[in-house]
């Protein structure tokens, strides 16, 4: 008797499963198609992204390998194109190459390229902070103290590894303007900061002892 009941229950369960699939065949087919499309899209996007990154990589390296003074304008144009592609690796490298080789003399144009990196590319925090610091360093002898503070404030207000560098840049900026009290305040901020760079602390202490002691 128990065996008969078990067989009946099993048959009933199988019939219910069969009916479920028959009654929901269209929905299940649609669901499977959606899953398949999502998988194809995901792996297709990854392939496309990797292909695009490889193209940008090849363009960057071919550009700098073939650089000659006679090709300065052409090289600069290609590097700007790479920056505008907003690649997290090769866009920053392209701007660094432009700066290191003095390919653009127009300050406004350089700052536009800096802002593309800072505002329009998804970068790791410390890489973005490094770029902000480089922008401050590039502009330090061309702008007012308020403008320099505005550039560097995102680093100074954070616990970035570049915070000490930004504070040191500001301290030296004010020292060069003969604003020694402000300079001293920033050197002291380096020494008292939570995560100071040991080398920067040493240099700050030297400057305080040598030039800013009371």
For residues 91 and 149, state if they share a domain: no
Confirm whether 93 is domain-assigned: yes
For residues 147 and 182, state if they share a domain: yes
For residues 161 and 188, state if they share a domain: yes
Could you tell me the sign of the dihedral formed by the alpha carbons of 159, 167, 127, 199, in that order?
negative
Confirm whether 164 is domain-assigned: yes
- pLDDT attached to residue 20: 54
For residues 99 and 149, state if they share a domain: no
Q: pLDDT (tens digit, 9 = 90+) per residue, 83-133?
A: 999 999 999 999 999 999 999 999 999 999 999 999 999 999 999 999 999
Q: pLDDT (tens digit, 9 = 90+) per residue, 21-76?
A: 556 666 656 656 666 666 566 555 455 566 677 888 888 999 999 888 888 999 99
- pLDDT attached to residue 40: 61
Q: How many structural domains are present in the chain?
A: 2
pLDDT at position 162 over 60: yes
pLDDT at position 153 over 60: yes
Q: Given 123, 150, 183, which residue is the final one in a domain?
A: 123
Could you tell me the sign of the dihedral formed by the alpha carbons of 82, 83, 89, 95, in that order?
positive
85 is written with which tokens? 């592609």
Backbone φ/ψ region at 102: left (φ over 0), alpha (ψ -120 to 50), beta:
left
Confirm whether 132 is domain-assigned: no
For residues 160 and 98, state if they share a domain: no
Confirm whether 91 is domain-assigned: yes
In the chain, % of residues over pLDDT 70: 76
pLDDT band at 212 (very low <50, low <70, confident <90, very high): confident
Residue 120: Cβ within 10 Å count? 12
- pLDDT attached to residue 2: 47
For residues 176 and 207, state if they share a domain: yes
Residue 184: Cβ within 10 Å count? 20
Confirm whether 19 is domain-assigned: no
For residues 98 and 61, state if they share a domain: yes
Q: Given 92, 123, 154, which residue is the final one in a domain?
A: 123
Return the higher-pLDDT residue of 118 and 6: 118
Return the higher-pLDDT residue of 12 and 110: 110
Confirm whether 147 is domain-assigned: yes
For residues 118 and 169, state if they share a domain: no
Confirm whether 129 is domain-assigned: no
Report the largest interatomic distance among the alpha carbons of the chain, rounded to a whole angstrom: 104
- pLDDT attached to residue 130: 95
Average pLDDT of the chain to the nearest whole number = 83
For residues 148 and 214, state if they share a domain: yes
C-alpha span between 175 and 212 (Å, rounded):
9
For residues 89 and 59, state if they share a domain: yes
Q: Given 68, 95, 123, which residue is the final one in a domain?
A: 123
| pTM (two decimals) | 0.76
Domain of 86 in residue numbering reads as: 52-123
Confirm whether 128 is domain-assigned: no
- pLDDT attached to residue 88: 92
């Amino acid at each position: 008797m128990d065996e008969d009941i078990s067989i009946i229950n099993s048959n009933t369960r199988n019939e219910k499963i069969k009916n479920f699939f028959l009654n929901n065949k269209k929905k299940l087919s649609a669901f499977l198609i959606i899953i398949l499309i999502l998988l194809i899209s995901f792996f297709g996007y990854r392939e496309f992204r990797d292909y695009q990154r490889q193209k940008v990589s090849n363009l960057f390296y071919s550009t700098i390998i073939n650089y000659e003074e006679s090709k300065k304008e052409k090289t600069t144009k290609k590097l700007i194109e790479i920056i505008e592609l907003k690649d997290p690796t090769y866009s920053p490298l392209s701007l660094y190459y432009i700066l290191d080789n003095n390919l653009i003399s127009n300050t406004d144009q350089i700052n536009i390229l800096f802002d593309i990196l800072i505002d329009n590319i998804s970068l790791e925090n410390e890489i973005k902070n490094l770029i902000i610091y480089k922008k401050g360093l590039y502009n330090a002898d061309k702008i007012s103290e308020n403008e320099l503070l505005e550039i560097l404030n995102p680093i100074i207000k954070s616990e970035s590894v570049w915070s000490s560098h930004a504070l040191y840049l500001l301290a030296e900026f004010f020292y060069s303007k003969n604003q020694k009290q402000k300079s001293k305040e920033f050197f002291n901020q380096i020494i008292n900061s939570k995560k100071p760079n040991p080398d920067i602390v040493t240099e700050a202490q030297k400057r305080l002892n040598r030039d800013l002691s009371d």
